[in-house]
Structure 1
Amino acid sequence: MDPAVWPGVARVPRVSGLRTAVARTLLRRALGRLPLRVRWGGEPAVGKGPLLWVRKPDAFHRRIGAGGLIGFGESYMAGEWEADDLVGVLTVLAAGVDELVPAPLRRLRGLWVRRRPEDQRNTVAGSRENIRRHYDLSNELFALFLDPSLSYSSAVFGRLPGTAEDFEAAQHRKIDRLLDLAGVGPGTRLLEIGTGWGELAIRAARRGAVVRSVTLSAEQRELALRRVREAGQADRVTVELCDYRQVTGAYDAVVSVEMIEAVGADYWPVYFRTLRERLAPGGRVALQAITMPHDRMLATARTHTWISEYIFPGGLIPSPEAVRREAGRAGLRITADDGYGAHYAETLRLWRERFTGRAAEVAALGFDAVFRRMWELYLAYSEAGFRARYLDVRQLALSAADLGAATVPRARAAGAVPAVRAAGGSGKENAR
């Protein structure tokens, strides 16, 4: 392990004996109340459920005493704890997150959690750096575990659980669903905020739309442009390296897929204002967004987490309440809202199994064992969040509030397959 590459992982932090002792006491009590089998070092495992084996208890306690959940993740990256069913263990922890720290200590959260670094704020310059750290890792890396469409967001499956349906077809269902919600068809002027690797833009162009797609990832743009050319849609699709705040013009439709999570709470007002200002009269917005409960979002908002340290710097998952509030303040009304978190859990399972199954190929790209454990934990952690219903994913349609009174269909239960048909759409069942 190279300490220059992994400074927070290569060395166990120095921390006072008191903090280590407090962490040890809290962890043993909290984990003992959860449906887990826990093994500390060479001791026999106790409890029932998936196994959490802390191989190096002292290092584990010191890391958590020093860094809380960041330390928990770093300890896994360092190989100090294992699980016989990583998703199962993390699902139990996600479901029991409120029990891990006693209520009196939760009120003192600000004394021990880290604040988000100022340099992760999503200014125009900060956003470019935050996006680069994740999306510019390597196109080849993402191609190893994504489906052939290179869609890096939740699919919508025809049936659950364990469908044998083609993964790419499920991703296309998701894309078509969003394009229908936005009313994309022949002649539509479409703005896509967050390009990915170009699949949505290509499918929109095949409907006859003229697409302007913007991204901050140079790696994604390069490959998206090549895929657009190979699909024969270069005359209909432009892909620009451009911040969403710098886009001008009016569009009949705006689509943004799992982009809001990277915006940051401080910039949600300008994000939604941009969506509204870019709409031509009668235009529609279609969003896909990961969400979390509002109280947990508030607790996370200023906290520096393992995810913000190692995976998505500057990001924050919004709550449904925050989305409604910010959309309304910007002059947008929500006209459709469907949740289907179980489909994201299945998507993440497929990604995780592909990633771990191609570990040798990941290594051949130059990603070391610490990186591979980090990404395995990231994918499993995310899957567990959806399985525990700590997280959800939603597709929303929005239009200008001045077009009439808001009529928001009742939100569907997490796990339901969205089947709404948007007027003016293709009439197909759809999604990304």
Structure 2
Amino acid sequence: MSTSTPDRTEKSTSSTKSTKAPAAHVIPRPAEGHWPGLATPPANTVRARVAKSLFLRAVDPLNLRVTFPDGTRRGAGGADSPVLRLIRPDEFFQRLGSDGLIGLGEAWMVGDWDSDDLPGVLGPMAARMGALIPAPLQRFRRVVDRRTPSTEVNDLEGSRENIHRHYDLSNDLFQTFLDETMSYSSAWFAAQGQPDDGEDMQVAQERKIDGILDLARVGEGSSVLEIGSGWGGLAIRAAQRGATVLTVTLSAEQKSLADARIAAAGLGEKIEVRLQDYREVTGTFDAVVSVEMIEAVGKEFWPEYFRTVDSLLKPGGRFGLQTITMPHDRMLATAGSYSWIHKYVFPGGIIPSLQAIDEVNDAHTTLKVVESRRLGLSYARTLARWRETFLAQQAEVEALGFDETFVRMWDFYLGYCEAGFATRYLDVWQLSLGRE
């Protein structure tokens, strides 16, 4: 992904980087070439009219307000409800009509719409995701939806490229908003579902790490395999418990920083970080742990993923899995669809349901879920903290070479996910899998 500075006008002109967050009325206009195809909305009048009709019908009963430049308002929200401001309605509906939810995200990226409360606007939509399109039109979903490109399938080659596109963006980028543990997954706040009490993020992340290590029974003398290294935080914590750890990642950037952090902690003899696919690991381990990596595996590879874990786990061992989940019916309805998240953030990914995890393990392994812990509302708070910190660091992000369109893209990604967890459309679980 290019990180060139976007244009603010229809023509390509150079501009200096902003040192503070842009005012709400400043509209980035990405140049062709930097973000191919994004600057000009698709021209399809019929689809735009249909999209406008469906959109207005969908938002009219929701607790939000939609405002048009001419002063027109739609939505059932009152004075205190979140506001979706349409800046360029024609372009907005053209994008929505051409690409559905991909178009919604792209319209935000280029400034066709705006809001002072992005998660608040997206939340009511997420809560009614399955009902936004009238039932008689649901049958046309497969015709309209884009399908996952064959280049993003998570075979050995595709997985490396998919991981590279996100996790190799820049270690410095992730350091602008993550805490000292460098945990890029849900924290575990003590007061879940309550107003944010200001609990330190590092404390909440360490509680999460300890929670999954406990479920995997990691302690003194344990041999541990971690699938998905992150930046080494979990491996360091496991080694501090007395375990020896092999941790594998497909991100060269992550391995580089993880190695440095492990060395700084004086744990180089206890932890090995490999640039390796989980399917290439051999040996057996007392415990296997994997935190929010299964979402990148791909539905067709779930049997192989769990079979691999099963084969690597010693008798009596435990698999500690932290996974984002979604309702089973929504997983089935969206499987194979190509979303905004796929296109811009996590190519090749799919979120499982708890039912799918049970079914795959029943059919393909000797493993069963024996303990579980639900953390979904902690993830909403985690994402809200990340988003607040990221936006406060916009000047530093731009100094790294990322343009305003990228900043808006990342803003939408974090706000979109926060809304999903806050409404329980998405959830996250810590699971312990063992053998009977």
Please say whether Structure 1 and Structure 2 have the same fold, judged by a TM-score greater than 0.5: yes
Q: For residue 133 of structure 2, what is the amino acid of its counterpart? A: V
* Equivalent in the alignment of 2:89: 57
> Quick check: 2:59–2:74 contact (8 Å CA) kept in 1?
no
* Equivalent in the alignment of 1:217: 251
User: Deviation per CA, 1:249-300, whole angstroms, max 9, x where unpaired?
Assistant: 0000000000100001010000000110000111110000000000111111
Q: C-alpha root-mean-square deviation of aligned residues, in Å?
A: 1.0
Q: Tell which deviates more after alignment, 89-98 or 125-134.
A: 89-98
The one of 52, 59, 81 aligned to 1:31: 59
User: Secondary structure of the equivalent of 1:6?
Assistant: coil
The one of 285, 295, 301 aligned to 1:251: 285
* Equivalent in the alignment of 1:417: none
The one of 150, 172, 175 aligned to 1:118: 150
Count of aligned pairs between the two proteins: 400
Q: For residue 91 of structure 1, what is the amino acid of its counterpart? A: G
**What is the deviation of 1:180?**
1.0
Distance 2:159 2:371 in 1: 29
> Quick check: 1:8–1:74 contact (8 Å CA) kept in 2?
no
**What is the deviation of 1:33?**
2.1
Distance 2:422 2:216 in 1: 29
**What is the deviation of 1:32?**
1.5
**What is the deviation of 1:355?**
0.4
Give yes or no for the alignment of 1:264 onto 2:290. Answer: no
The one of 413, 418, 430 aligned to 1:395: 430
Distance 1:272 1:68 in 2: 34
User: Deviation per CA, 1:342-379, whole angstroms, max 9, x where unpaired?
Assistant: 10001001000000111111000000000000000000
User: Deviation per CA, 1:231-266, whole angstroms, max 9, x where unpaired?
Assistant: 000000000000000000000000000010000101
> Quick check: 1:193–1:213 contact (8 Å CA) kept in 2?
yes
User: Secondary structure of the equivalent of 2:37?
Assistant: helix
* Equivalent in the alignment of 1:306: 340
| Pairs within 5 Å for 1:337-356 | 337-356=372-391
The one of 36, 47, 63 aligned to 1:7: 36
**What is the deviation of 1:11?**
1.4
* Equivalent in the alignment of 1:142: 174
Distance 2:41 2:159 in 1: 31
* Equivalent in the alignment of 1:73: 105
> Quick check: 2:325–2:426 contact (8 Å CA) kept in 1?
yes
Give yes or no for the alignment of 1:151 onto 2:183. Answer: yes
The one of 312, 319, 335 aligned to 1:278: 312
Q: For residue 190 of structure 1, what is the amino acid of its counterpart? A: V
The one of 242, 245, 259 aligned to 2:276: 242
* Equivalent in the alignment of 1:208: 242
**What is the deviation of 1:208?**
0.9
Give yes or no for the alignment of 1:233 onto 2:267. Answer: yes
* Equivalent in the alignment of 1:93: 125
**What is the deviation of 1:7?**
1.6
> Quick check: 1:24–1:61 contact (8 Å CA) kept in 2?
yes
Q: For residue 6 of structure 1, what is the amino acid of its counterpart? A: W
Distance 2:329 2:101 in 1: 18
Q: For residue 115 of structure 2, what is the amino acid of its counterpart? A: A
The one of 165, 174, 197 aligned to 2:199: 165
For the structure 1 residues 102 and 382, does the alpha-carbon distance in structure 2 shift closer, same or farther, using more than 3 Å as the test?
same
Percent of pairs identical after alignment? 54
* Equivalent in the alignment of 1:102: 134
> Quick check: 1:77–1:370 contact (8 Å CA) kept in 2?
yes
* Equivalent in the alignment of 1:181: 215
User: Secondary structure of the equivalent of 1:33?
Assistant: coil
User: Deviation per CA, 1:107-163, whole angstroms, max 9, x where unpaired?
Assistant: 111111111111110010000000000000000000000011100000111223312
Distance 2:176 2:390 in 1: 7
The one of 355, 366, 383 aligned to 1:331: 366
User: Secondary structure of the equivalent of 1:7?
Assistant: coil
Q: For residue 70 of structure 2, what is the amino acid of its counterpart? A: G
* Equivalent in the alignment of 1:368: 403
Distance 1:46 1:249 in 2: 60
**What is the deviation of 1:221?**
0.2
* Equivalent in the alignment of 2:421: 386
> Quick check: 2:130–2:330 contact (8 Å CA) kept in 1?
no
TM-score (norm 2): 0.90
> Quick check: 1:157–1:163 contact (8 Å CA) kept in 2?
no
**What is the deviation of 1:50?**
1.0
Distance 2:280 2:197 in 1: 42
Distance 2:145 2:103 in 1: 11
TM-score (norm 1): 0.91
* Equivalent in the alignment of 1:21: 49
* Equivalent in the alignment of 2:11: none
> Quick check: 1:20–1:61 contact (8 Å CA) kept in 2?
yes
> Quick check: 2:218–2:241 contact (8 Å CA) kept in 1?
yes
User: Secondary structure of the equivalent of 2:405?
Assistant: helix
Distance 1:365 1:45 in 2: 39
* Equivalent in the alignment of 1:419: none
